[in-house]
Amino acid sequence: MSSGAPSGETPDRGSAPIERPGLAVWITGALMLALGIATSILMLGEFRSRSYLYLFFYSIPSNAAISVFPHEPVLLFFGKFADPWIAAAVATAGTLVAGWMDHSVFVPVLQLRALQGYRENRLYRRAIDLYRRSPFLALVVAGFTPLPFFPFKFLSFSDAYPMPRYLAALAVSRFPRYLLLLWLGRVLEIPTWILAVLFLAGLSVYGWRAGPSLWRRLRSAAERRRDPARPRGGGAGRSPTRDGSGRAREAGSENDNTG
């Protein structure tokens, strides 16, 4: 399943740029949001915390591309009483639902013509070149190990990696990871209050990392609406002039006009 790029070149292999997402993207995105809200309500209210059904539904928003719900403390908690094989299978099933929704939403979104500037980013082009050498293996390793998984999701979605292979990589990597966490929960028998503290700490870390980035994006979008000519942040709206000659010509042209 390896798919390397030609030497010295990183071609854009995502889907053709589109102007706006389709109706299915909006519906799936709304479903993702509803599941996140429902999970928050369940956590704050009464729920059968030892139910496999709860584990299944919790595994969906906790494994979505944009999520503040950590899955590790919950699996450690279930490991104290649940059958590890059944619990791992249930959590993996919820993860696959999350993967299907993520892929359905973010692959089209990352092909939007208005967002294509990220493809010119030097770090992205280096990362996508490495990722394409063995995308399936990269997803499996990142999905099983403590490596941050979101960057690999981003690369996969931006490159329109086929959904069946993406879901297969999730299943291959997440099932043994969940089984290991459940086993640790059974062996260590961590007190529930400590797991609750870990859960709240996970929420705080995710919120601390995602909050400022989300605020910057919202502020940038608001500024662009007020001033459509404003370049996009993060280098997305810059022309890829490597030697600076384009800027020099622009400066010279301005001097000619004003002189």
Q: Are 51 and 43 in contact (CB under 8 A)?
A: no
Q: Which residues lie closer than 8 Å to 21 by C-beta, 6 or more apart?
A: 108, 109, 112
- φ, ψ dihedrals at 93, nearest 5°: -60, -45
pTM over 0.75: no
Model confidence band, residue 191 (pLDDT cutoffs 50, 70, 90): confident
Residue 64, pLDDT above cutoff 50: yes
Note the pLDDT tens digit of each residue in 97-148.
Answer: 999 989 988 898 888 888 888 889 999 999 999 999 999 999 999 999 988 8
Instruction: Output the pLDDT for position 7.
Output: 36
Pick from 13, 241, 27, 20: which is nearest to 114 by CA? 20
Note the pLDDT tens digit of each residue in 75-104.
Answer: 998 998 999 999 999 999 999 999 998 998
Looking from the CA of 191 toward its CB, the CA atoms found within 13 Å total 3
Give residue for tokens 């929960």.
Answer: 185
Distance CA 112, CA 106 (A): 10
Q: Are 209 and 115 in contact (CB under 8 A)?
A: no
